[in-house]
Structure 1
Amino acid sequence: MAWQSPAWLLASAIHVSASRAGSIAWNQWSPSPAAAKFRFLNM
């Protein structure tokens, strides 16, 4: 499958890592129910 190329996998891994880092940072700066819901929706 062409879409499972190394470049695509690398880009996907970077995207997931960035999303997790952003969620962690958001949770640290906004420890509220709204932030928790936002983080859950972006998992």
Structure 2
Amino acid sequence: MYNYFNLSACFAPCFFILTAVAEEVLIIVRAIESGEINLNKL
């Protein structure tokens, strides 16, 4: 029981961080698809 609680306490913040990162990646991907970011310049 203690290990499960410890795991969930670690998982929650990691999950929120992953969600935030995924949203940033989606924004970048949409910008590339719409042509706002030109990959040839990178």
Size of the aligned set, in residue pairs, is 31
Structure (1 or 2) with the larger CA radius of gyration: 2
Correspondence for 2:26: 27
1:4 maps onto 2:4 in alignment: yes
TM-score when scaled to structure 1? 0.54
User: RMSD across aligned C-alpha pairs, in angstroms?
Assistant: 1.6
Show structure 1 runs of 4+ deviating over 4 A.
none
Correspondence for 1:38: none
Deviation of 1:8 after TM superposition, in Å, equals: 2.5
Gaps of 5+ in 2: 34-42
Identity across matched positions, percent = 10
TM-score when scaled to structure 2? 0.55
Larger RCO: 1 or 2 (CA < 8 Å, sep 6+): 1
